[in-house]
Amino acid sequence: MELAEDLKACLSRFDEATPVEVRENGDRVATIAPFSWELRGAGEKPLLSVRSEQYNVTHRILGIAANDDGRLALSFERFGKSRPGRLEFLRVEFVRTAKEVARKDFCLRLARVLSERFPDEILESLTIAPDLEHSFADNYARGILGSGDKCWALLAVPDCEPVSTSENSLTFGLLWLARVRETSRKGYVAGLRLIVAKGARATLAHLGKAVSSSIELEVYAFDPRNESLLPVDPNSFANRENWLVTCRQRESLLDRAGSEVNAIVAKAPQAVTLHANTQANEVVLRFRGLAFARWEDGVIYFGAAGDLRKKLMPSTQAELERVLHDLETYRHPLATDKRHPLYRAQPERWLEAIVRSDVTRVDASLDPRFVYTQLFTNSVSERGILDILTVTTSGRLAIIELKASEHIHLPLQAADYWVRIRHHLEQGNFFSSGYFPQRQIQNAAPLVYLVAPALRFHPTTGVVLRQLSSSMEVVRVGVAESWRRGIRVVMRQ
């Protein structure tokens, strides 16, 4: 069947739909009711005309990109352009959710605010349409602000989104900046302007210290009440809480737990490790990375699947034995049931346990005598920190950031840790807190190792890393998919 005939059949499904939303290249251009169209010509490049009182357009159609009950996406020929455009028709009742309406409304308000805040610059484009090919979802508005031969990449978070979306915005902002620099023909791209929620200001001011000095970074907090932009001073958050846990605190807590936890460790000494949580004043017991028990104020609680509420008493001792038996059976490198929940749970914690046991598996130059985790009493972000701090045999600090699966924020999570470690190194806090005893530490910025299965690095990892500080020296270490049976490095770059 020729394209023209296919297209007629697809368009006829919208004849009874009122209204129909029209989008060109991701931007909504009109809502038509009733939907009126005309198709001229046969063959493989028919002409499609769509008309209403507010919108008239004619495009030469090249193909059908998508077609379902509520959406039709077409590619069309653009004069003087090698890449085709995209024309979409959507039944409003199927696609205009409350969140989408709020996001579109934000874009309209943002355009007005930008014209007031930057009167000498022109908003050359603004879209919130998803672009999955380049890892952009529809929760970030992306645009370009231009003035003469200079322009800025712009990324904004709608005020209907949670604060976490703003806290993660720098990753997508750097990706958008790279995209603009790659495709823009408007001259010099100075840098990135981020517009976020007020609650994310401290996080972004902190992470901004890891961005390359070649990038101008401006962060603004959007005030929806006054519809204004408040510039964020990165130095205004310098006194945030970010205290090191002293080795004395950690050792004191482990000493208090003493024989009570050691008796459990003795049941599986190759698999069970102790983790002192000074903030919660507890010691967590993990079996190949999976928490199964905790000590708190002289009492041990245990359980399965993270529910550690069963109190250990003579009457429940047998239950603890069963938990350990199940862990040894199903959370074992050679377990036959690879789909069992105990085998699949918290893979990054399992990978962390393997690396902690011998960091030379990551790099032979690392010193296995000094391996620290959970160094901070208060982190800038609320993510679960799986970083390891160690040192090379020459005395340079080394950070190991672990991921067992593809994660787009891996570079920025490593940068978060790197900025804090570098700060404490410059302040001399590691020595005063009891770390690296009798070890001379270099003043050089810490090394960073990103460790993950070789095929599990997100495709954008390299793009983001290239836009971070040149002082942040990063080594990507890819391990074999069979890492549970032992780490084997198959890629290093």
The pair of structure tokens assigned to 321 is 């034995």
Q: Which fold has domain 346-492?
A: Trna Endonuclease; Chain: A, domain 1 (3.40.1350)
Query: Taking a C-beta distance cutoff of 8 angstroms, is the pair 10, 1 a contact?
Result: no
**What is the predicted pLDDT for the residue at 359?**
97
* Plot region of 145 (φ>0 → left; ψ -120 to 50 → alpha; else → beta): beta
Q: Is residue 97 predicted with pLDDT exceeding 80?
A: no
User: Which residue would you say has higher pLDDT here, 305 or 347?
Assistant: 347
Torsion of CA 170, 104, 230, 165, to 10 degrees: -30
Q: How far is CA 46 from CA 20, 75, 101, 166, 409, in A?
A: 21, 12, 33, 44, 44
Cis geometry, peptide bond prior to residue 347 (ω within 30 degrees of 0): no
Mean pLDDT score, 431-442: 94
Which of the four pLDDT bands, split at 50, 70 and 90, describes residue 96?
Answer: low
Question: C-alpha 291: how far from its chain's center?
Answer: 24
63 vs 28, more confident: 63
35-39 long-range contacts, Cβ below 8 Å, gap at least 24? Answer: 35/89, 37/11, 39/4, 39/7, 39/8, 39/11
- CB of 157 closer than 8 Å to CB of 144: no
Residues 197 and 92: their CA atoms lie apart, in Å, by 29
Predicted local distance difference test score (pLDDT) of residue 285: 96
pLDDT given for residue 184 in this prediction:
79
Please state the separation of Cα 88 from the chain's center in Å: 29
Question: Range with the lowest mean pLDDT among 191-195, 384-388, 393-397, 471-475?
Answer: 384-388
Position 90 confidence tier, pLDDT thresholds 50, 70, 90 = confident
340 or 54, which is more confident? 340
Strand partners, 161: none
| Mean pLDDT of the residues in the chain | 89
Separation between Cα atoms, residue 121 and residue 152, nearest integer Å? 10
Q: What pLDDT digit, counting tens, does each position of 60-83 carry?
A: 888 888 888 778 899 998 877 778
The mean pLDDT of 222-239, rounded to a whole number, is 81
Q: The whole model's pTM is what? A: 0.79
**pLDDT value at 490 more than 90:** yes
Using 50, 70 and 90 to split pLDDT, how confident is the model at 382? very low
Contacts made by residues 186-190, CB under 8 angstroms, sequence distance 24+: 186/124, 186/144, 186/146, 186/149, 186/151, 187/146, 187/148, 187/149, 187/150, 187/151, 188/149, 188/150, 188/151, 189/150, 189/151, 189/152, 189/153, 190/150, 190/151, 190/152, 190/216
**E strands in 35-182:** 37-40, 47-51, 56-67, 71-76, 85-91, 122-127, 141-147, 150-156
**Topology match between the domains 3-95 and 98-237:** no
The enclosing H or E element of 438 equals: none
Helix (H, G, I), strand (E, B) or coil at 273: strand
DSSP letters for 216-271: EEEEEEEETTTTEEEE--GGGGTT---PBPPHHHHHHHHHHHHHHHHHHHTTSTTT
Closest by alpha carbon to 192, among 150, 141, 159, 155? 155
Closest CA to 465 of 419, 402, 415, 404: 415
Q: Give residue 71's pLDDT.
A: 85
* pLDDT higher than 90, residue 482: yes
Using pLDDT thresholds of 50, 70 and 90, give the confidence band for residue 13.
Answer: confident
CATH code of the domain made up of 98-237 = 3.40.1350
**Spatial contact of 138 and 129, defined as CB atoms under 8 Å apart:** yes
Q: What is the CATH number of domain 3-95?
A: 2.70.180.10
% of the chain with per-residue pLDDT over 90: 62
**CA angle (370, 373, 376) in 5-degree steps:** 120
**What span, in angstroms and rounded, lies between the C-alpha atoms of 410 and 452?**
10
Confidence of residue 29 (pLDDT cuts 50, 70, 90): confident
What are 281-317's pLDDT values in tens digits? 999 999 999 999 999 999 999 998 778 999 999 999 9
State the Cα torsion 290-491-133-192 to the nearest 10°. 90
d(CA 85, CA 23): 11
Residue holding tokens 């959406």?
Answer: 71
β-bridge mates for residue 372, sequence order: 389
- Closest CA relative to residue 72, chosen from 123, 35, 118: 35
DSSP secondary structure letter of residue 131: B
Residue 241's pLDDT band (boundaries 50, 70, 90)? Answer: low
Tens of pLDDT, residues 147-170:
878 899 999 999 999 999 999 999
Per-residue pLDDT reduced to its tens digit, 102-130: 888 898 899 999 999 999 999 988 889 88
Question: If pLDDT is split at 50, 70 and 90, which confidence band does 94 have?
Answer: low
Angle between helices 169-183 and 410-427 (to 10 degrees): 110
**What are the domain boundaries of the chain?**
3-95, 98-237, 247-339, 346-492
Rounded distance, CA 457 to CA 408, Å?
8
386 pLDDT tier (thresholds 50, 70, 90) = low
When pLDDT is cut at 50, 70 and 90, the band that residue 379 belongs to is very low
